[in-house]
Amino acid sequence: MSGGVGSRRRTAILISGRGSNMAALLAAAADPGYPAEIALVLSNRADAAGLGRAAAAGIPTAVVESRPFGRDRAGFEAAMEAELARHGVELIALAGFMRVLTEGFTTRWAGRMLNIHPSLLPAFPGLDTHARALAAGVKLHGCTVHLVTPGVDEGPILAQAAVPILPGDDEASLGARVLAEEHRLYPAALAWVAAGRVALEGNLARLDTPPGPSAERLSNPG
Ligand code: GAR
């Protein structure tokens, strides 16, 4: 794998809860050949279970509680920026981070911030994706890793994984099938961005294509 020790992108994982995707990213980044190193796990909730898992793995953690900021989203994000700067963060992976970010924050981190979403975008943006997929009667569901832009769940798609919806599925069984794919997909997509293998052409993310006049390569390592 390209990258290697000394040139790994310093990455923060932002969480709000359980942190199973975070754990998948930590496991991938435990390989010194993985092109991202996890420099920080940051939560907007002190009670996020993922914080304990990160600390147990020896990863620096920080909490910036969003609640005291109320509607002052810019103030909350400024406090997060201070933590990100303190840890020299270059890339952000949102992993079950349940706060909508401002246009200012998403623009500052454009091309350097990823999110995982539990549906095949652009189908089912927002919440309750598994229940909505079941109610719609779709036969395929899945997950998407995308770059974050100001529009919620709208940024350039990096990778997707599909699963069948099976007779008798409920929200829990379908969610578990999708989650297993999330844990496989997210480490792969973060590696592509961290290794500088993704170029953007407008709203399209291209993997391993030579940069053309309108393509901007992301996160070119050193
Ligand atoms: C994951 O399924 C993730 O895709 C979803 O929250 C869950 C977090 O689980 N994210 C969103 O819905 C974002 N809109 P985890 O904390 O175990 O990774």
**Tens place of pLDDT for every residue, the chain, 222 residues?**
444 455 999 999 999 999 999 999 999 999 999 999 999 999 999 999 999 999 999 999 999 999 999 999 999 999 999 999 999 999 999 999 999 999 999 999 999 999 999 999 999 999 999 999 999 999 999 999 999 999 999 999 999 999 999 999 999 999 999 999 999 999 999 999 999 999 999 999 999 987 666 777 887 554
Taking each helix axis as running N to C, give the angle between helix 171-194 and helix 129-136, from 0 to 180 degrees, rounded to the nearest 10.
Answer: 120
Q: How far, in Å, is the centroid of ligand 1 from the Cα of 222?
A: 31
Ramachandran area for residue 24 (φ above 0: left; ψ -120 to 50: alpha; else beta): alpha
pLDDT score recorded for residue 2:
45
* Structural domains present in the chain: 9-116+147-157+185-203 (3.40.50.170)
pLDDT score recorded for residue 222:
46
Q: At 96, list the tokens.
A: 């079950």
96 lines ligand 1 (CB under 6 A): yes
132 lines ligand 1 (CB under 6 A): no
- Residue to substitute in 21, 99, 141 for testing ligand 1 pocket (most ligand atoms within 8 angstroms of CB): 21
Q: At 44, list the tokens.
A: 């907007």
Are 117 and 143 a contacting pair, CB within 8 Å? yes
179 lines ligand 1 (CB under 6 A): yes
Is the whole model's pTM more than 0.85, yes or no? yes
Q: How far, in Å, is the centroid of ligand 1 from the Cα of 114?
A: 13
